[in-house]
Amino acid sequence: MFWLDWIIVFIPLLVVLVIGLKSQKYVKSVADFLAAGRVAGRYVICVASGEAGMGLISLVAMWEMYYSCGFAVSFWSAIAAPLGLIFGLTGFCTYRFRETKAMTMGQFFEMRYNRAFRIFAAVLQSISGVVNYAIFPAVGARCMMYFLDLPVHFYICGWKFSTFGLLMLLFLGIAVWIVTMGGQITIMVTDCVQGLVSYPLYAIIVAYIFYRFSWNGEMVPALMDRAPGESMLNPYDIKNMRTFNLFYVFVGIFSSVFNRMAWSGTQGYNAAAANAHEQKMGGLLGTWRAGFSTMMIVLLAVAGYTYMTHVDFKKEADSVHRQLTAKTMAEMAHEKRFDVIRKDVETLTKTGEVTPAMKEILAKDPKFDLSKPLDPGKYKEAAQAAVATVDKGTAQTIGTIYHQMLVPVALREMLPMGITGVLCALLIFLMISTDTTYMHSWGSIIVQDIILPFRKTPFTPRQ
C-alpha cells in the first residue's frame, strides 16, 4: 500500500474512534449498556445492524463462494430474498419479543418458563457463541495479513513474533476498547458511522471495477470457460458443484426461518429500537441496504476470478499463485520438520524449477505433467503434495487457507493506489463492527443471564 492508501484507512478509523469516545457520556444505566436505552430509530438500526451483521469473515466466505460458483448458485439463493421482506413487513418474532420488554433472550425465557431454564439456555448460548466466534478474529487477521502483504513473522531485538497474532491482538484490542467504553450505545454509534462512511466507498469500488474490466470482453468469457455441470452463469447446470451447491442454498433458507431471532450474536440490536415498529422498519430497510454491499462483494469476487483466469491477465495471475503458495507455506509449514520441503517450494515459486526431490514426489501423481515447466496455477497442489509426505493435515490446511485468501491477494494486485486503501478501510470496518457486537452479546449473556441469577446481592449499574 502507498501513503495515500494509509491516509484513506486511518482518517475514517480515527473519526469512528473519536465519535465512539464522545458517545460514552450517554451511558448512564444498565439499559443503556445492554440495549442503547431503547431509543434507536429505524435508520440507525438499519445501518448499524447491517454493518455488524456483515463481518469480515462473511466477506471472505462470500468471496470464496462466488469465486467457486459465480452467479449460478446465487440465482437460487435469491429465493430467500422475499423471506427477508416478508419477515420485515410482518414483524415476525419482533413484535412478540418487544412486548415482553426483555433485554435479553434469557430474560424472556425466565418470564416464559423459569430461572433454571434461563440459566441453561444462557450457558448453551454462550458456549456455542464463543466457540463460533473463536474463528472470527483468526480469519480477519489472516485476511489483513495477506491483503497488506505483511510478513508471516518479524523480529524485534532477536525475538521472533507472529504477525498473525499481533494483528489479532491489535484489532481485538480496538474492539474491546469500544465495547467497554459504553456497551451497545458506543457499538451502535460506531457501527452506524462506519456504515455511513461505507456507502461512498462501495460506489467507488463498483465504479472502478466497471472501468477496469469489460463485461462482454473479459468477465463473461472467463465465467463461461467452465466444465459441464459447473457453470457460473447457468443455474440449471450446476449438478457437479461439490461445495456451494443447492443443498447449501436450501440449508440457508431453512435456517433463516427456523432460527429467526434465535441467534444472539446481535442481541443488543434486538431490543435497542424505540419501539417494535421502529425495530420492524429497521429490519425491513436493512433488507434493501444489504443489496448494495452484496453487489460490491459479488463484483469483487467476479473481478478476482476474471483476473485469475482470463488469458489477458495470465502474467499477473501467475504472480498471485507464486506469492500465495510461498506465503501459505511460510505460515503453515514453518516447523523444522518441513525445512527441506519448504526450500523446495521456495525454489519452485521463485524460479519455476522443480527440484529432484519434489520431482520424485510429483511423479507419483498423474495430474502433474513434468515433461514441461509446471504451470504456476499448479504450485499450490505441488506444495500440498510435498507437505502431505510429512503431515497430511497441514497439507489440507494449506489448501483451505489458499482458497480463502485467493481473492484478497488477487484484489491487492489488481487494485490501484487509492482504491486499495478504500477496500482496506472497508475490511477493517467490517472486522471491528462484528467483533464489538459479538463480544458485547456473549459477554452480556454470561453476566446478565448466568452470573446475576446466581447472586444474592445484585451488581450495581457501575459494576
CA–CA gap between residue 301 and residue 311 (Å, rounded) = 17
pLDDT tops 90 at residue 386? no
Interacting residues of 116 by C-beta distance below 8 A, sequence separation 6+: none
* pLDDT at residue number 307: 92
Diameter of the chain measured on Cα atoms: 78
Same domain, 305 and 354: no
Same structural domain, 176 and 105: yes
291 vs 89, more confident? 89
Is 130 a domain residue?
A: yes
Task: Choose the final residue of a domain: 380, 403, 426.
Answer: 403
pLDDT of residue 190: 85
Same-domain pairing of 102 and 207:
yes
Q: Please give the average per-residue pLDDT across 388-412, as a whole number.
A: 90
Tell me which of 80 and 177 has the higher pLDDT: 177
286 shares its domain with 432: yes
Q: Please tell me whether residues 353 and 443 are part of one structural domain.
A: no
Report the CATH number at residue 426: 1.20.1730.10
Return the pLDDT at 244: 67
Mean pLDDT, residues 132-149: 89
What tens digit of pLDDT does each residue of 312-351 get?
A: 899 999 999 999 999 998 888 888 888 888 888 888 888 8
Residue 405 pLDDT grade (very low, low, confident, very high; cuts 50, 70, 90)? very high
Q: What secondary structure letter does DSSP report for 426?
A: H
In the structure, what pLDDT confidence band is assigned to residue 166 with cuts at 50, 70 and 90?
very high
144, 427 in Cβ contact below 8 A?
yes
- Quote the CA–CA distance of 31 and 183 in Å, as a whole number: 10
| Cell numbers for 246 | 443447492
Confidence of residue 432 (pLDDT cuts 50, 70, 90): confident
- Establish if 169 belongs to a structural domain: yes
The amino acid present at 305, given as its one-letter code, is Y
Question: Which region among 46-60, 110-124, 308-322 has the lowest average model confidence (pLDDT)?
Answer: 46-60
The one-letter code for the residue type at 275 is: N
Of the pLDDT bands very low, low, confident and very high (cuts 50, 70, 90), residue 58 is: confident
Residue 409 falls inside a structural domain: no
* Those residues with Cβ within 8 angstroms of residue 122's Cβ, 6 or more apart along the chain or in another chain: 106, 445, 446, 448, 449, 450
SS3 156: strand
The string over 345-378, giving b where at least 16 C-beta atoms fall within 10 Å of a residue's C-beta and e elsewhere, is bbebbeeeebbeebeebbeeeeebeeeeebebeb
Same domain, 427 and 328: no
Cα–Cα separations (whole angstroms), residue 179 to 27, 65, 186: 12, 31, 7
Q: Domain check: are 259 and 351 in the same one?
A: no
Half-sphere CA count of 280, side-chain side, radius 13 A? 18
436 and 184 Cβ atoms separated by less than 8 Å: no
Residue 84's nearest CA partner among 290, 259, 284, 276 is: 284
CA distance 255 to 357: 49
For residues 60 and 304, is the Cβ–Cβ distance under 8 A?
no
Altogether, the residues listed in the chain come to a count of 463
* In a shared domain, residues 280 and 320: no
279 plus 368 within the same structural domain: no
Domain annotation covers residue 463: no
Cell match 499463485: residue?
321
Would the pLDDT of 108 be above 80? yes
Res 459 pLDDT > 90: no
pLDDT of 409 reads 93
Asked if the model's pLDDT at residue 284 lies above 80, the reply is no
pTM of the predicted protein model:
0.85
| Distances in whole angstroms, Cα of residue 380 to Cα of each of 146, 273, 463 | 16, 49, 52
- Chain centroid to Cα 441, Å, comes to 18
Residues 37, 42, 43, 47, Cα dihedral to 10°: 80
Q: How many domains does the chain have?
A: 2
| 460 domain residue, yes or no | no
355 in any annotated domain: yes
Q: Is the pLDDT of residue 352 over 80?
A: yes
Give the structural domain span for 334: 316-403
What Rg, from alpha-carbon coordinates, does the chain have? 24
Neighbour count for residue 235 (Cβ, 10 Å): 18
Determine, yes or no, domain membership for 408: no
- Are 202 and 277 contained in the same domain? yes
Q: Identify the pLDDT of residue 407.
A: 92
Q: With residue 342 as reference, give the H or E element that holds it.
A: helix 339-351
User: Do 218 and 291 belong together in one domain?
Assistant: yes
Residue carrying C-alpha cell 478509523: 13
CB 317 within 8 A of CB 307: yes
Q: Write the DSSP assignment of 78-116 as a string of letters.
A: GGGHHHHHHHHHHTTTHHHHHHTT-SSHHHHHHHHS-HH
Q: Helix, strand, or coil here: 231?
A: coil
Q: What angle do CA 404, 409, 414 make, to 5 degrees?
A: 135
Q: What does DSSP assign to residue 337?
A: G
Rounded mean pLDDT, 136-164: 88
Residue 35 inside a domain? The answer is yes
Q: How do residues 229-238 score in pLDDT, each as one tens digit?
A: 778 888 787 7
- What residues have CB less than 8 Å from 389, skipping those under 6 apart? 341, 361
Mean pLDDT to the nearest integer, 30-38:
81
The reply to whether 307 and 329 lie within a common domain is: no
Best-predicted range by mean pLDDT (57-61, 246-250, 320-324, 359-363): 320-324
Around Cβ 204, how many Cβ atoms within 10 Å?
Answer: 17
φ and ψ at residue 156, rounded to 5 degrees: -130, 115
Residues sharing a CB contact under 8 Å with residue 114, sequence separation 6 or more, in sequence order: none
Percent of the chain exceeding pLDDT 70 equals 99
Cβ atoms of residues 38 and 31 within 8 Å = yes
CA distance 221 to 205: 22
Q: What does pLDDT average to over the chain?
A: 84
